[in-house]
Amino acid sequence: MTLAQVYQNGKEYLRKAGVESPAFDAMCLFEAVFGYNRQGLLLHGDEPAPNDRIVVFNDSIHQRADKRPLQYIVGEWPFLSLTLKIGEGVLIPREDTELLVRTAEEMLRLREKAVALDLCAGTGAVGLGLASLLPQVEVTCVEFFDEALTYLKENLQRHPELASVNWMQADVLDPAVPEQFGMVDAIVSNPPYVITGEMETLQEEVRREPSTALDGGEDGLRFYRALAENWVPILKKGGIFAVEIGEGQAEAVRELFTQAGLKNIRIAKDFGGIDRVVAGMKL
């Protein structure tokens, strides 16, 4: 069987299984197993596929057909210029979250140095991403859950060039934790924000991600209240606070931040035109 036939069979299997993007998913899995991207497949498609690799590829196709997230099967995923290790137990980095990092970068880029916190860090995507854009920023990634922390530590090891990033295990909902950090220049966070009652309505693939990284409480605002009440106070004058939000949460989060004393609050839209980031400054 040729490489092209193996790919086509995999794509067709995913299509029949109802996978939303069978061609894209099959190509990602093909590249992970055989080492060829789409251009490589065009050049080498007539070559015979090694039998042992066919077995691995077919297994990955079956996992995807069973709705295991593509990113978990591949085992790593790009975020900005980084490649992050991921798997069960940690939130999958998404393109929308790059907007959070870009927003924070824009607000911090003129500072010669800064101390920042990435709360609910998960893989460390936000903290590592910010450091990759602004090497002068010293970032501490704060994560509570052991499984996610495993991936966070591995991703810090994967990117030794970002030596200004470190980690700490702590519960961001604990009001006693912020005082451990002293005053900081920036806080960024992609916290859980799905309304508890809507968890069961999420796509099956999303429900495979840890509920602890998704469930934001009865109204989805549990973490934002804690951030506003407990974490805004440790911002220095001129410090910035930026968070990712769920659809329809912009005004509620803006109000929480306003009440906490943040000024010049902005709302940024994602590629789909949905309010995705709320950011403000402590004047």
The pLDDT score that the predictor gives to residue 193 is 98
The pLDDT score that the predictor gives to residue 22 is 98
In tens, the pLDDT along 44-67 reads 999 999 999 999 999 999 999 999
In tens, the pLDDT along 12-47 reads 999 999 999 999 999 999 999 999 999 999 999 999
Contact 92, 100 (CB under 8 A): no
In tens, the pLDDT along 213-268 reads 999 999 999 999 999 999 999 999 999 999 999 999 999 999 999 999 999 999 99
Nearest to 225 by CA among 191, 198, 248: 191
The pLDDT score that the predictor gives to residue 10 is 98
Edge-first strand order for the sheet with 235-244 is 165-169, 137-143, 114-119, 184-189, 235-244, 275-281, 263-269
Total-model pTM: 0.94
The pLDDT score that the predictor gives to residue 225 is 98
The pLDDT score that the predictor gives to residue 256 is 98
Helix, strand, coil percentages for the chain (3-state, nearest 5): 45, 20, 35
The pLDDT score that the predictor gives to residue 124 is 98
Nearest to 257 by CA among 215, 225, 222: 225
What is the maximum alpha-carbon separation in the chain?
66
The pLDDT score that the predictor gives to residue 111 is 92
198-211: average pLDDT: 96
In tens, the pLDDT along 72-120 reads 999 999 999 999 999 999 999 999 999 999 999 999 999 999 999 999 9
192-198: average pLDDT: 97
In tens, the pLDDT along 152-177 reads 999 999 999 999 999 999 999 999 99
The pLDDT score that the predictor gives to residue 46 is 96
Strand blocks (E) in the chain:
76-79, 82-85, 114-119, 137-143, 165-169, 184-189, 235-244, 263-269, 275-281
